[in-house]
Structure 1
């Protein structure tokens, strides 16, 4: 048996699989982030431990075969700063990925030539390094006590093994890792006042990181259990969907939107605002574009109109069935919380244009769906500029339930989208697969295979030209709107 742990922003999911990779059962436990000030987002790591204990207890009660556990992998939300003192006590709540308090510090670090050259990425406010610069400036008494900085997944690794250890894919989002060399950079650390000794030991995500602590093993009723290096959440999702090689990738329609492409080599392009990170398996990397408001754009419109997201989309789906409506006059820029790829603009905000007295709610819904599709197209253009192959992509996340939205995105991107045929295929499965590889030495390429395809959504060639023209207008709208905000 192998256990995958997906430590998310709002909850933890634990998945049990067998040696053939078949899902046996899952359990979840939830928690919340706190926002003590505008732009702040924090969590108490003790809540992660409580959630893990609850999920494991649920699995053990439902699955007697849990006692045959041999491997564990942890996936976690990236960039979070969990600060430990010399006695491994948490010094303050973890500063999460969506915390923007360190935007000034991020800009200062990003202005240093060595940052992009070595880390292969823009220093975004959500990354870990600027958070520590902020702590040094604003909480110096805490900064002086920092013995170790652990990402959320690495903190669970420490809880499980008693060792400070992290994987390459998660660590690539700190702005401290030389992503090409897959090692901590003394130069990058020094730029933010840090030392190599404050970092966890690095291993590949599919390699052993340690063994389950004896007291936990006894409490869980298991024997010797190998804990894998694990992964950042998007790398783990890529392992779950089988995206390891060039030409493989996925579109994720969650609160934020992600377009991820696996890469066989290292091809950084920080000027595009793409993320270039190590993959969770050796000698591979991945690149992704990130938009901050994907389904969150539809959720916002839901709040404004008083209708559920499903109720907003259903009339369009009923009207158009399996076909696609032409682009409307109303345009939506999906920058409700700023944007990462390709603009790296924390200040830009969303907007509607083309509204008239004849505008309906359906017009606005189509504009939101289209605006999100265009935001993903921005990432696709950035990826293609680096040489990434974007063939058939898997579509995952809550928004992928809408066939109309997927048809729209497929047409805008110019690639077919595949919906997985049920079952498990997310970060928890990817983490469990990493645990299996670490425990058995299995080849990740043989373990991390794509799921069966439940439906294939092809682009609509009849409307490709119309949506291409609408996309070019969308691109031209950003600088115009930005100039007056």
Structure 2
């Protein structure tokens, strides 16, 4: 038996073929591009997702015999507003998760107490609902022609199966879901001049959402197999990393940053700016602190200095107390805990001695301080993290992990070599849908090593975090 996981990321679509022991049999990634026509805008052509999926699936079939394929699962970046006409074609480019143009619409929705009460979340500018409202106000012809509103991975599902379906974890990031009841809110939809008919049908992440189209299966040389509901990218990564039990957690150092904790109950606290979403398994939820620039902040410094991120972080030496230089990583606004689309980053306390190495340390520390803000916000909801899996491309930097562990005050577990992210989580959900397997297959990965906080340097990092918070308090008054 084998299973395919498709992970639709912002910069690429990743496809993996795994057996029933999670061993990767084949994998392929197709690059994707983002368009930013104006400040704060971030868009992507939905057709490019379908083209990438066709290429990636064909590549898997060419590299390994897929005759034993049993199921497919989907994961994808959340919050994207994909407006689809009656012919199932996208009417405009998708407004992506990091598109902040709808900050005025988000503020107006968030001022309506029904949204926080029903969804359990602040209405952030990056969420789907305010972006659709922006389209209604600024592109009324597109809004009027809209037959369905789909999240990115669900538009990909439409291509694969012909079905309009979503699932709970992704839908929870739209600002239209009754997160506790795990269903669309007719009241919130009506507040946006929408009805349930504009929304996809909802299933749980492990449920069958449709079947691979016969014509596409023939074209690709694949069996016509069921496609699972899947999950939003972070919930799928949690399934892949085995973060499903109450209190288990991961820290993701990707383009953005996520501090994710699984919970066995629905415990919203919107005022903290913590995301409280459905998990991909029934009767479970999760909470997330989200920062918009993690490795993206390091890539920004790379462009600024003309040195690669790998070069900047290659020779930082042993961990030491933070210097006076501070970096606030709000390059495109911030979510947790500030909910501020307009705030921008800052370097502070620069002097003649500040070189590329010192700036790199400040950037790594600044991202760690932003994660510490997420830790504190999660703690305010009653969620305390005692340890976390370290995931994402930034976790390859041992120095950065040492900075993070010492700033956060809890150990970070580094998985052994192998696939354990969103693509594996999607494949596992595909396996559940096809075979009836249960949550027990969502096991955590083997741990290669644990990065412990440096107790001797803990007070110095705590003092630096206090200065960071003070700098933020000053910045928001400017």
Could you say whether these structures have the same fold, taking a TM-score greater than 0.5 normalized by the shorter chain as the test?
A: yes
Q: What is residue 144 of structure 2 aligned with on the other side?
A: 144
CA contact (8 A) 1:293 1:337 kept: yes
CA shift for structure 1 position 35: 2.1
CA shift for structure 1 position 20: 2.1
For the aligned residue pairs, the C-alpha RMSD in angstroms reads 1.2
Name the CA distance, whole Å, in 2 between partners of 1:206 and 1:428. 14
Q: What is residue 399 of structure 1 aligned with on the other side?
A: 394
CA shift for structure 1 position 221: 3.0
Query: So what's the TM-score if we normalise by structure 2?
Result: 0.97
Match of 1:413 among 408, 417, 428: 408
Q: What is residue 87 of structure 1 aligned with on the other side?
A: 87
Query: So what's the TM-score if we normalise by structure 1?
Result: 0.96
Name the CA distance, whole Å, in 1 between partners of 2:357 and 2:222. 55
Name the CA distance, whole Å, in 1 between partners of 2:217 and 2:329. 47
The within-5 A match list for 1:167-186 is 167-186=167-186
CA contact (8 A) 2:230 2:426 kept: yes
CA contact (8 A) 1:127 1:175 kept: yes
Q: What is residue 358 of structure 1 aligned with on the other side?
A: 353
Deviation track 1:306-358 (CA, whole Å, cap 9, x = no partner) reads: 22122222231xx31xxx20121111111121111100111211112222233
Q: What is residue 63 of structure 2 aligned with on the other side?
A: 62
Name the CA distance, whole Å, in 1 between partners of 2:302 and 2:34. 22
Name the CA distance, whole Å, in 1 between partners of 2:448 and 2:123. 38
Higher mean alpha-carbon deviation, 218-227 vs 97-106, is at 218-227
The number of aligned residues is 477
Q: What is residue 329 of structure 2 aligned with on the other side?
A: 334
Q: What is residue 211 of structure 2 aligned with on the other side?
A: 211
Name the CA distance, whole Å, in 2 between partners of 1:349 and 1:218. 50
CA contact (8 A) 1:339 1:345 kept: yes
CA contact (8 A) 2:40 2:332 kept: no
CA contact (8 A) 1:2 1:18 kept: yes
CA contact (8 A) 2:333 2:344 kept: yes
CA shift for structure 1 position 135: 1.3
CA contact (8 A) 1:33 1:41 kept: yes
CA shift for structure 1 position 197: 0.8
CA contact (8 A) 1:109 1:192 kept: no
Q: What is residue 376 of structure 2 aligned with on the other side?
A: 381
Q: Which residues of structure 2 form unaligned runs of 5+?
A: none
CA contact (8 A) 1:13 1:27 kept: yes
CA contact (8 A) 1:246 1:389 kept: no
CA shift for structure 1 position 40: 1.9
Q: Which residues of structure 1 form unaligned runs of 5+?
A: none
Match of 2:462 among 453, 464, 468: 468
* CA distance 1:141–1:450, change in 2 (3 Å): same
Deviation track 1:271-300 (CA, whole Å, cap 9, x = no partner) reads: 111111100111111111111111122222
Deviation track 1:3-29 (CA, whole Å, cap 9, x = no partner) reads: 000011121111101122221110111
Deviation track 1:227-247 (CA, whole Å, cap 9, x = no partner) reads: 100111111111111100122
Name the CA distance, whole Å, in 1 between partners of 2:310 and 2:288. 28
The within-5 A match list for 1:159-198 is 159-198=159-198
Name the CA distance, whole Å, in 2 between partners of 1:219 and 1:68. 17
Deviation track 1:349-408 (CA, whole Å, cap 9, x = no partner) reads: 111222223333322221111111110000011111212131221111111111111011
1:441 partnered with 2:442: no
* Secondary structure class of the residue paired with 1:144: helix
CA shift for structure 1 position 224: 4.0
* Secondary structure class of the residue paired with 2:131: helix
Deviation track 1:411-446 (CA, whole Å, cap 9, x = no partner) reads: 1111110111011011100000000001111112x1
Name the CA distance, whole Å, in 2 between partners of 1:392 and 1:50. 40
CA contact (8 A) 1:28 1:55 kept: yes
Q: What is residue 300 of structure 1 aligned with on the other side?
A: 300
Higher mean alpha-carbon deviation, 97-106 vs 233-242, is at 97-106
Deviation track 1:74-132 (CA, whole Å, cap 9, x = no partner) reads: 10111111112222222122111111221111111111000111111111111111111
The within-5 A match list for 1:262-341 is 262-316=262-316, 319-320=317-318, 324-341=319-336
CA shift for structure 1 position 222: 3.5
* Secondary structure class of the residue paired with 1:210: strand
Name the CA distance, whole Å, in 2 between partners of 1:414 and 1:44. 41
* CA distance 1:223–1:304, change in 2 (3 Å): closer
Name the CA distance, whole Å, in 2 between partners of 1:91 and 1:303. 34
CA contact (8 A) 1:246 1:388 kept: no
CA contact (8 A) 2:61 2:222 kept: no
CA shift for structure 1 position 147: 1.1
* Secondary structure class of the residue paired with 1:462: coil
Name the CA distance, whole Å, in 2 between partners of 1:101 and 1:194. 21
* Secondary structure class of the residue paired with 1:240: helix
Q: What is residue 241 of structure 1 aligned with on the other side?
A: 241
CA shift for structure 1 position 39: 2.0
* Secondary structure class of the residue paired with 2:314: helix
The within-5 A match list for 1:109-120 is 109-120=109-120
Q: What is residue 459 of structure 1 aligned with on the other side?
A: 453
* CA distance 1:363–1:224, change in 2 (3 Å): closer
1:47 partnered with 2:45: no
Name the CA distance, whole Å, in 2 between partners of 1:80 and 1:48. 13
